[in-house]
Chains A and B, each alone.
Chain A
């Protein structure tokens, strides 16, 4: 069906993308790759003259247990967040068109507000809401009769800190998923739904037989984007917990940051980044194949 032309047009259309990517992405990436094979630390950054170190950095990384633990933690972190985001996002997106105009606008504005709130500000607010002595969350829980939460220290316990971070990231990410899916819903011709209804489809059937297939691409897109973002999510974790307590919230980007920018071991940090890219690529390869086929 699609036109298969031998013309130059498609290449002209992608030329700006290719040019930008070559200078601003590929070049730095190659540089990072080179650094990962060098002895490159603060001194080398400032004075120049880094020495070739072969596979030393990779060996150091892969021989320790820490990297693998971090990897596993990142996986758990990503799965929990993405599942919550996609499920809640879909729920909200399906809810939106069914609401009365006023309520729908209110909800959409709330979503936009949450989305627009600067990451650092939102993180600060959450840190504050979950504070042990003056925090609103503990106050609310105690008021509701859960007395064990008086002075509860959310950031003392690894699991609790992890949970707070999940709440924060889900809260920040659902608006995008919901609004995007909702925008997608609005592109489905109304007739399709009407005919499905006339044919006696229940709400669930309409979703599985009409909505989902129509938006399959979009779902895949949202899900894979969230995978990438959640896996790469950094400022929230750093501000709230610096990866603690006891490394319970040290995901790959936090780990890379600690190595590269706290210890100034840019070489080892680049090695982490390179491995991250490879792992993400492998993890998403099936998805990529599907994207290419369509």
Chain B
């Protein structure tokens, strides 16, 4: 196919003479950027667009907000098209499969220039396949415990818990009267992942040439057992995840003492009930011992440039700006995100929520680094496993079943 060869040629040209100046075109070059819904506020995007266009004459940014439904297929279609968007934001658990497909531009040569030495591993690793960097870390967020200060005071809980045992203890105390100690839905699997990592287990492990689901290890089962005990201290539905119904809407009813969420959720809670403004508290998810908070899943996004983008150079310039220090600082402040480089983490100290998140971020982990992990997520097998255990299924048997399913999915060639 001719356009493929052209695109490839463009990539090689870029690698060979990365700084070559293109002759300025008369008409502004339109750069299309896909940003996920909810990643960046409209105001911040508008500000960025204005400043960027002023600083880069001849560039016209077309920032398109993408809805979450069907995004996987849309990105796949874009990568396979002849005239793709120039920069796409993709989730860090998704980026590996796109990188492996051959439809994404290899940016290995740019890592140094982008100060890749202190990128967050949870974002940089999934963007790297076979030693080549395709995904450029953009931002991250990890979960903390968001709590209702009024309900804590009411129950006589003065200090946020430091260990898991304390956590269970106070949550039990909070789970009184009409109040829920914690609203933890049965399928919040990112939280489960953290508990499993704390126990020394993992979701899946690399074994020989392949992958193996590891939810049936004693460590993983211990993590699930803790999840079960915690989940029972509230009325979180056992057969739903935190997005359905959105947990911030439940929390905003004022009868839920704690939820596990990224700190950015505070803004959503206040949208539902502004009266909770000074009543929201945050603490890192407790670990097994007081000296170290619990391990957390690092969620976030990478930026990719499709090989089929017709403006590779301009696209790279844009990625550089989006991943650069100035925008990262603004983004982290506006959205309560962790910036893409550890040296920028200082911007988070000002705010209670992000400070709690930064403490946890030091123990951030990523999902198994394989292109097929996205498929494990999409088929919801872990969620269904959790529901099965929480509704009385035999943990060992269920864990064995789900581990086998994960093994099959991860080793299915792509």
Q: Do chains A and B touch in the complex (CB under 8 A)?
A: yes
Q: A47's closest neighbor in chain B, by CB?
A: B102
Of A43, A48, A131, A245, the residue contacting B414 (CB under 8 A) is A43
Interface string of A150-163 (1 = CB under 8 A from B): 01011111000000
- Find the residue from B4, B384, B401, B413 having the highest chain A CB count within 10 A: B384
Q: A5-13, A73-81, A218-226, A255-263: which one contacts chain B?
A: A255-263
- Find the residue from A127, A133, A244, A261 having the highest chain B CB count within 10 A: A133
List which B350-371 residues lie within 8 A (CB) of chain A: none
- Find the residue from A127, A134, A153, A265 having the highest chain B CB count within 10 A: A153
Of B4, B237, B381, the residue contacting A132 (CB under 8 A) is B237
B4 touches A156 (CB 8 A): no
Given known contacts A47-B103, A151-B235, A156-B387, is B240 in contact with A132 (CB within 8 Å)? yes
CB distance from A148 to the nearest CB of B (A): 14
A46 touches B97 (CB 8 A): no
Interface string of A34-47 (1 = CB under 8 A from B): 00000001110111
List which A209-264 residues lie within 8 A (CB) of chain B: 242-246, 258, 261-264
Query: Is A176 among interface residues, defined by CB-CB distance under 8 A?
Result: no
B101 touches A42 (CB 8 A): yes
Given known contacts A153-B387, A155-B239, is B380 in contact with A46 (CB within 8 Å)? no
B388 touches A48 (CB 8 A): no
B245 touches A131 (CB 8 A): yes
Number of interface residues of A (CB under 8 A): 30
Contacts of A262 in B (CB 8 A): 375, 378-379
Query: Is A128 among interface residues, defined by CB-CB distance under 8 A?
Result: yes
Q: B413's closest neighbor in chain A, by CB?
A: A41
CB distance from A168 to the nearest CB of B (A): 16
B409 touches A263 (CB 8 A): yes
CB distance from B247 to the nearest CB of A (A): 12
Contacts of B388 in A (CB 8 A): 156, 245-246
Query: Is B326 among interface residues, defined by CB-CB distance under 8 A?
Result: no
Query: Is B248 among interface residues, defined by CB-CB distance under 8 A?
Result: no
A46 touches B384 (CB 8 A): no
A153 touches B239 (CB 8 A): yes
CB distance from B83 to the nearest CB of A (A): 14
Contacts of A242 in B (CB 8 A): 378-380, 384
Contacts of A246 in B (CB 8 A): 384, 388, 401
Interface string of B364-398 (1 = CB under 8 A from A): 00000000100100111100100110110000000
CB distance from B341 to the nearest CB of A (A): 30
Interface string of B317-353 (1 = CB under 8 A from A): 0000000000000000000000000000000000000
B97 touches A42 (CB 8 A): yes
B379 touches A128 (CB 8 A): no
Bound CA–CA A131/B80 (angstroms): 39
CB distance from A134 to the nearest CB of B (A): 7
Of A41, A156, A258, A263, the residue contacting B239 (CB under 8 A) is A156
Bound CA–CA A1/B278 (angstroms): 85
Q: A264's closest neighbor in chain B, by CB?
A: B414
Given known contacts A41-B414, A264-B414, is B375 in contact with A131 (CB within 8 Å)? no
The 3 closest A-B pairs by CB, nearest first: A46-B103, A155-B239, A153-B239
